[in-house]
Amino acid sequence: MAYTCQQIISLACQISKTPGYTTMAGQFFNAMLEELWQVNDFQFSRQSVYVDTTQAQPTLGYPLPSNHERTLDSYYIVNGAPRILTQLPIEQYDSLFQGVTGSSYPEFLCVDVSQTPHTVLFYPVPPLATGITLRYLPQQQAILTPEANNAIPWFPSQLYLITRLAAELMMVSDDTRRDDFLKQAAGILEKFMTMGDDDRENYVRQVKLDPRAFRSGGGHRPTKTMPL
C-alpha cells in the first residue's frame, strides 16, 4: 500500500528524531519533489498535446499547455505515413527563412521557453492543413500542506522520498547520520532511474546521428504521393 504525503513526512520525522518539525518537513518535501521533475526526465509522467496548425502560425508561436516543461518528441501523419519533427535551438531557428516555403510540410520545431506559457514554432511554416502531436514532460504542482495531506505523491519511489526527507531533516538537527542517509537515497534513486524510469523493456538504446545534419532515410520521402 502506498504511503500518503502525511505518512511519509511522519515516518521521516520519526527516523530523523525531529517529531516537532512537520511543517518544515512539508516544505522540504515540496522542494524535493520540485527538484525531481526539474532535473530528471521521467517518462512515466509524460503527457501529449495536439497542436492545430490549420491556422496561420502566430508570430510568437502556438501556445503550449501551462504545465509544459520539456519536449520529448513530436510527429504528424500525412497519407498514413508518420513524419517525425526535429527540435532546433531557438538561436538556430531565428537564422532560418521565415516566409512560406511552397508546399513543404514542417520538418523542425523550436520551443520558446521565454514565453508564458511556452510556445512552439514550426519550420517550414505549415502552409497546409495539418495537426502536430507533441509529447512533453510536465511541471508538477506543489502539494498543499503535505504534512496534513492524504494524497499520494506523484513520484512512485516512496522509499527514496522517506530516506531523502529524513536526511534533509538531519541537516537541521545536526544529526551525524545525514551523509549516510544521503548516500542511501542516491543509491535508491539510481536504481529507480536504471530500472523503473522508462518503459524500455525488451529493447535497448540506440546510438543516433544528429537528425539536424543526417536526415533519416537519406532524405527520401516515405511515399511517392507525399509532398516535399
Note the pLDDT tens digit of each residue in 94-118: 998 876 666 678 889 999 999 999 9
Separation CA 181–CA 169 (nearest Å): 11
Q: Extract the residue ranges of the chain whose pLDDT is less than 50.
A: 217-220, 222, 225, 228
**Percent helix, strand, coil in the chain (nearest 5)?**
35, 20, 45
